[in-house]
Amino acid sequence: AKHAGKNAVRAFHPAMGSQTTERMDLERDLRGALVREELTLHYQPVFSGLTGRLVGFEALARWNHPVQGLLPPGKFISVAEESGLIVPLGAWVLQEACRQAAAWRREEAFTVSVNVSPLQFEQPDFIETVQQAVIRSGLDPQRLVLELTESVVLRNPQRAIAQMTHLRMLGIKVALDDFGTGQSSLSLLRTLPIDILKIDRSFVQDETGNLEAAQVMVDVIITMAHRFRMHVVAEGVETREQLSLLKTLGCDSVQGFLLARPVPASEAEKFL
Ligand code: C2E
Ligand code: CA
Ligand code: CA
Ligand code: CA
């Protein structure tokens, strides 16, 4: 009812009307995609800032749409969130990432990171879903990282903290994703039971053009995270300059197009 006025305007605007239909089509297709197994995962390698060796992969969802081709998450994750489809979709991502990581063999251990949406995290049986994925795959829970954003935490901090603590008691690692983009306060960060801080791409890439200020920010974030005994991952590394700066500042892990793009499992395997 709140948006009735807006919708009334929309009804007279053919372009907007078709946009809504497009979204409804996408939702219907996505529902079928889960059944038809059109979803797939790409894996982006993550490397040690110190040694340059592979330390893990981030699993990133892709949708092999029968007509539109391979769709990035930007095209369907919001539809999945708004329709609630993110819950079964997210459960599938968890299972598939754990299964794949357990199947890959390597002497040196490596992690697999899975993105978790707020709605998914709020499900009463979320922990159970995670546990099931771990048990079914046989993956060592220490090798699973769940990436959460601030928005997950801010909705209900107390409950989020309790749930994060529970996950860590199971041996699973918790990462705070996109750090620096929201309004997270230092005091919030202090109270969060997290293992890993992921510095958002916007800091690494410095859109402002003010490299010096960006450097100070990244330096402060890394120092602070280390004082809280957190591991720091920088995402979106695209240039040699960014990489060498992050190494100098003591960033634990690095991820970005300079080092490797997200690739299908068959290609990711070559990084092992
Ligand atoms: P994110 O968690 O911040 O993931 C990193 C995104 O940055 C990925 O985009 C990756 O391809 C891209 N990226 C990596 N290195 C670089 C770089 O050097 N430069 C640039 N410009 N981009 C880089 P992608 O795969 O399109 O995913 C976008 C977002 O969709 C993710 O952002 C994440 O929030 C969401 N997402 C992806 N998979 C899932 C999923 O399975 N579940 C949920 N809930 N969200 C997902
Ligand atoms: Ca992520
Ligand atoms: Ca990000
Ligand atoms: Ca994100």
- 14, pLDDT greater than 90: no
H-assigned helices in the chain? 4-11, 14-36, 77-83, 86-103, 118-122, 126-137, 150-155, 157-169, 186-191, 201-205, 211-227, 240-248, 265-268
- 10, pLDDT greater than 60: no
Task: Specify the pLDDT at position 13.
Answer: 55
Task: Specify the pLDDT at position 9.
Answer: 47
Q: Is the CB of 73 under 6 A from ligand 1?
A: yes
pLDDT tens, position by position, 72-94: 999 999 999 999 999 999 999 99
Q: Is the CB of 239 under 6 A from ligand 1?
A: no
ipTM of the prediction greater than 0.90, yes or no: yes
Cβ neighbours, 10 Å, residue 92: 16
Going from the Cα of 23 to the center of ligand 2, the distance in angstroms, rounded, reads 24
CA distance 213 to 270: 38
- Ligand 1 atom at minimal distance to the Cα of residue 42: 25
Lowest mean per-residue pLDDT among 24-38, 60-74, 205-219: 205-219
Mean pLDDT of 1-30: 65
- Ligand 1 atom at minimal distance to the Cα of residue 86: 44
Q: Residue 72: nearest ligand to its CA?
A: 1
Going from the Cα of 204 to the center of ligand 3, the distance in angstroms, rounded, reads 11
Q: What is the mean pLDDT of the chain?
A: 90
* Ion ligand 4 residues within 5 Å by Cβ: 177-178
Closest-CA residue, ligand 1 atom 37, reads 60
* Ion ligand 3 residues within 5 Å by Cβ: 178
7-13: long-range pairs with CB below 8 Å, 24+: none
Pocket test for ligand 1, best of 43, 70, 77 (most atoms within 8 A of CB): 77
Q: In terms of DSSP bridges, do strands 39-48 and 253-254 run parallel, antiparallel, or are they unpaired?
A: antiparallel
* Ion ligand 2 residues within 5 Å by Cβ: 115, 147, 177
Structure letter (DSSP) for residue 183: -
Mean pLDDT of 126-153: 96
pLDDT tens, position by position, 102-131: 999 999 999 999 999 999 999 999 999 999
- 258, pLDDT greater than 90: yes
Within 8 A by CB and 6+ apart from 102, the residues are: 137, 138, 139
Contact 176, 149 (CB under 8 A): yes
Q: Is the CB of 180 under 6 A from ligand 1?
A: no
Structure token pair of residue 227: 């004082």
Percent over 90 (pLDDT), the chain:
74
Q: Is the CB of 252 under 6 A from ligand 1?
A: no
Write the CA distances from 72 to 62, 68, 98, 103, 143, integer angstroms.
Answer: 5, 11, 21, 25, 25
For residue 210, name the pLDDT band (cuts at 50, 70, 90).
Answer: confident
- 64, pLDDT greater than 70: yes
- 175, pLDDT greater than 60: yes
For residue 166, name the pLDDT band (cuts at 50, 70, 90).
Answer: very high
The residue behind tokens 């949406």 is: 117
Going from the Cα of 44 to the center of ligand 4, the distance in angstroms, rounded, reads 14
